[in-house]
Amino acid sequence: MRLNTALFLILLGAAPAAVPAHAQPADSAKLCAQIPPLAEQITKVSGMPLRHPVPCDFITKEKIKAFLNKRVKEVAKPEDLRAEELTLKKFGLVPADYDLAKSTIDLLTEQAAAFYDYDRKKLFITDTTSSETQEPVLAHEVAHAIADQNYNLSKFIKAGRKSDDGSTARLAVMEGQATWLMSELLAQKMGQSLKDSPALLAMMSGATEGAAGQYPVFDNSPLYLRLTLIFPYTKGMLFQNAVFERDGQNGFGEVFRKPPVSTQQILHPEKYFSGVIPTVPALPQPHLPKGYKSLVGGSLGELEHAVMLEQYSGKERAAELAPHWRGCTFNLLENKKAARVVLLYAVEWDTEDAARQYFAAYRRQLSKKWKQMTVATETEDAVTGTGDDGRFELRRSGAVVTGMEGLPAAID
């Protein structure tokens, strides 16, 4: 399971056709009537054919939230949600009292204007779609429908679940392409094109980031939730543009036929073109007593490391250091009887110097995410001590930084 992305995908792949649509507004039919001409325009730009009409229906925002709550209980096991939440808390990405499932539902409900359900093959319009955003919102969802008809989005997402960071990269393919096509249609209405206007591309790719104040749930969410929610749209759009610049219309299908494998490839398309894949650094060995079992494991990509660096060391530091990421592994081990969860963590960087810098940054992160931190021993490449959840050891060896947190007390 990928941190929080799995939950987003569960909800985005929901099937609200099972929810009755009451009091359909008079203009919903008018909105649905915009779909065929929009589909024709998107087909012309992308080269992907519309294989059959896109069904359209209406749903209230209240019904969306009710359905999402029901959907989470049906699809997401409580132990999986708990494992994701614990991981975020262990890394200090969300507060200790944060309710991940509820907050994600609130976030998605607030953001919903329209959506394409790739399981039921149907586009849904909500009762809060404002008149000024109706056409671009519909264009975005129609782009999803056309991609689905050609590349089966449900299978595309499921195929990426074996790779933690890769699942977010695939989500960025889906949302980034739809955002690019939506933006290109808007540009053409102004007599322009993203193809020959870098300034327009930059402005439109940053439009989501400039919406502060419009969405209070989003604005008050932890940095991790805010950045990972907009990443597939903003950075995914820039990635799709880079592929389009290189491959033309073939690029719209290429990203589905040969999807990126990491958020690093999304952030740096040249790494996608050259096939740079993440490394898998070995985890440290904690030598724990009996009773510990793996709760959840996976990796944090360049995206998560950029978020952690920004949260604990500043945006400028994140921009400088995160691109040097090469690979990561983590595992949470739990002893239920002892009520203890141990975090094992390893991250590799492209140079020893970058690893030294990250070692210092993560040491700072430890001191900031805990209320209390006592250092027992410290050198340039190692620090040990105790934090809020037990003993910790942070070390650097070459280009790899490893950490163990939440360890039980040492036995003399």
| Average pLDDT estimate for 236-241 | 97
pLDDT of res. 123:
92
Cβ-based neighbours of 395, under 8 Å, separated by 6 or more: 284, 381, 382, 383, 401, 402, 403
Q: Does position 23 have pLDDT exceeding 50, yes or no?
A: no
| Average pLDDT estimate for 125-149 | 84
Characterize 309-344 residue by residue with b for buried, 16 or more Cβ atoms within 10 angstroms of its Cβ, and e for exposed: bbbbbeeebbeebbbbbbbbbbbbbbbeeeebbbbb
Q: Does position 10 have pLDDT exceeding 50, yes or no?
A: no
pLDDT of res. 224:
94
Structure confidence by residue, pLDDT tens digits, 199-219: 999 998 887 665 555 778 888
Question: In this structure, which long-range contacts are made by residues 240-244, counting pairs with CB atoms below 8 Å and at least 24 apart in sequence?
Answer: 240/173, 240/176, 240/177, 240/179, 240/180, 241/180, 241/194, 241/201, 241/205, 242/269, 243/269, 243/272, 244/180, 244/195
pLDDT of res. 70:
78
Q: Does position 15 have pLDDT exceeding 60, yes or no?
A: no
pTM of the model: 0.91
More confident residue, 33 or 66: 33
Cβ count within 10 A of residue 218: 19
Tokens 């929610």 correspond to 229
pLDDT of res. 131:
59
| Average pLDDT estimate for 140-154 | 96
Q: Which two tokens mark 124?
A: 């849904």
Cα gap 275→178, rounded to integer Å: 24
Cα gap 32→50, rounded to integer Å: 16
Confidence of residue 20 (pLDDT cuts 50, 70, 90): very low
pLDDT of res. 107:
82
Q: Which residues pair with 327 in a beta bridge?
A: 279, 348
Structure confidence by residue, pLDDT tens digits, 57-74: 888 877 887 877 777 777
| Average pLDDT estimate for 275-285 | 97
pLDDT of res. 3:
40
Length reported for the chain: 412
Query: What spatial distance separates the first Cα and last Cα of the chain, rounded to whole Å?
Result: 37
Comma-separated ranges of CATH 3.40.1000 domains in the chain: 293-407
Say if CB 93 and CB 365 are below 8 A apart.
no
Q: Does position 79 have pLDDT exceeding 80, yes or no?
A: yes
| Average pLDDT estimate for 131-138 | 79
Cα gap 354→360, rounded to integer Å: 10
Q: Are strands 390-397 and 400-407 parallel, antiparallel or unpaired?
A: antiparallel
Cα gap 281→404, rounded to integer Å: 14
pLDDT of res. 110:
81
Architecture (CATH level 2) of domain 293-407 = 3-Layer(aba) Sandwich (3.40)
| Average pLDDT estimate for 218-244 | 94
More confident residue, 285 or 69: 285
